[in-house]
């Protein structure tokens, strides 16, 4: 039998059993693994890094005011305190840097939009996230903002690859990570627990994004593949903040002169490749925003696991006891995962309940193998 280890305070202890099997180590699986370790639980994570296309190309932005009409994101009052607490704590725990709070500037499109936000700025729900409103061009040396814009606080980005890698290093150091696919056809259910190869677990959680639909247990999840493409560009000098107008422009993990531009949202394109259509769309919108010259470095693609109502799926399998899922974070994984991984970890340990808007119980029809 292969000997594995888990973190127990400072010492390493050999194990043949674990508390949780976690399938998938994207943003969701990484956050959940950390939440469970913080609760003193043993985990074993199975993942195929080459298939984490959604997480690997994500810009990792978190922004409380979203959309073309600029409204507060769903459950902002709960999600943002959670992410602002979780990621800095995770940085200390993992001895790595990946969390970067940075202001975000949204240029206005018109005088009308400018006036609308002057009125909305008095709303206490928005005041917490608005740093300043500018009525004339303020950052014109970096972007086009003839009507001024909205400077937002409590924004920033997560260096997603760095976060996932730091979590992976922790798991590997304790023998709690395997870079292989967990084949559900070989998963045994024994006495309300689970056995896979040489590991026995009390509970199992699927955090595999779209790959969860290929399992024998969650093929009925109504997940939708939402393709997104991004560009990596290089500038001659760094920008002073993040920008968002038609596309976002945010620092990349590669260097302080490399930035990520994105993202497209195409539910119809299922091709596993970059497209000229997306490139033209992104460069066209970037031309309306950025006034500085840039060099195109690369183009990336990935499929996000989205849902019809843009809310995640969490909870216990309706037929298999101690089998859980955390999925459907779509484009908002960075902001959703800290809060909901905490909620799911508590729920699996017998504390609290899943948010009714996020539970898989809201799915009316399902079938299971």
Contact partners, residue 231, CB within 8 Å, separation at least 6: 260, 261, 262, 279, 282, 283, 286, 296, 297, 298, 299, 300
Tens-digit pLDDT profile for residues 17-48: 999 999 999 999 999 999 999 999 999 999 98
**In the structure, what pLDDT confidence band is assigned to residue 290 with cuts at 50, 70 and 90?**
very high
- Within 8 A by CB and 6+ apart from 237, the residues are 257, 292
* Side-chain-facing half-sphere of 326: CA atoms under 13 Å: 31
| Fold of the domain built from segment(s) 4-57+161-223+309-362 | FAD/NAD(P)-binding domain (3.50.50)
pLDDT number for residue 369: 41
Percent of all residues in the chain with a pLDDT value above 70, rounded to a whole number:
91
Q: Write the pLDDT tens digit of every residue in 70-85.
A: 788 899 999 999 999 9
The model's pLDDT over 255-264, given as tens digits with 9 standing for 90+, comes to: 789 999 989 9
Confidence of residue 16 (pLDDT cuts 50, 70, 90): low
Which has more pLDDT, 126 or 369?
Answer: 126
Q: Is the pLDDT reported for residue 57 higher than 90?
A: no
For residue 137, pLDDT beyond 80: yes
Which range has the worst mean pLDDT, 42-51, 116-125, 221-230, 358-367?
358-367
Q: Determine whether domain 225-306 maps to CATH 3.30.9.10.
A: yes
* Domain definitions of the chain by residue range: 4-57+161-223+309-362, 103-154, 225-306
Tell me the per-residue pLDDT of 304-340, one tens digit each, with 9 for 90 and over.
999 999 999 999 999 999 999 999 999 899 999 999 9
Q: What is the pLDDT of residue 276?
A: 97
């Amino acid at each position: 039998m292969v000997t594995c280890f888990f973190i127990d305070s400072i010492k390493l202890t050999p194990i043949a059993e674990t508390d949780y099997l976690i399938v998938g180590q994207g943003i969701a699986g990484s956050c959940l693994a950390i939440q469970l370790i913080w609760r003193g639980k043993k985990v074993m994570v199975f993942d195929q890094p080459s298939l984490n296309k959604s997480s690997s190309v994500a810009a990792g932005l978190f922004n409380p005011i979203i959309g073309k009409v600029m409204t507060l994101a769903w459950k902002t009052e709960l999600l943002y305190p959670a992410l602002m607490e979780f990621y800095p704590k995770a940085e200390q725990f993992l001895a790595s840097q990946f969390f970067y709070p940075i202001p975000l500037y949204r240029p206005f499109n018109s005088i009308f939009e400018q006036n609308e936000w002057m009125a909305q700025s008095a709303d206490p729900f928005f005041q917490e996230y608005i740093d300043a409103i500018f009525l004339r061009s303020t950052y014109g040396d970096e972007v086009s903002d003839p009507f001024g814009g909205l400077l937002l606080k409590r924004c920033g980005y997560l260096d997603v690859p760095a976060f996932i890698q730091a979590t992976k290093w922790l798991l590997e150091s304790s023998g709690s990570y395997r870079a292989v696919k967990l084949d559900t056809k070989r998963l045994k259910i024994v006495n309300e627990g689970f056995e896979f190869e040489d590991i026995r677990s009390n509970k199992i959680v699927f955090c595999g994004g779209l790959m969860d639909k290929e399992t024998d247990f969650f093929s009925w999840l109504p997940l939708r593949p939402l393709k997104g493409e991004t560009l990596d560009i290089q500038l001659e000098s760094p920008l002073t903040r993040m920008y968002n107008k038609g596309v976002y422009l945010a620092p990349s993990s590669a260097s302080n002169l490399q930035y990520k531009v994105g993202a497209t949202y195409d539910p119809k394109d299922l091709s596993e490749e970059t497209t000229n259509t997306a490139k033209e769309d992104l460069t066209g919108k970037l031309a309306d925003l950025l006034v500085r010259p840039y060099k195109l470095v690369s183009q990336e693609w990935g499929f996000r696991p989205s849902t019809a109502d843009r809310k995640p799926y969490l909870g216990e399998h309706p037929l298999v006891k101690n089998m859980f899922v955390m999925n459907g974070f779509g484009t908002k994984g960075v902001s959703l995962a800290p809060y909901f991984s905490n909620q799911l970890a508590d729920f699996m340990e017998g504390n609290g309940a899943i948010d009714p808007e996020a539970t898989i119980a809201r799915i009316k029809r399902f079938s299971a193998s």
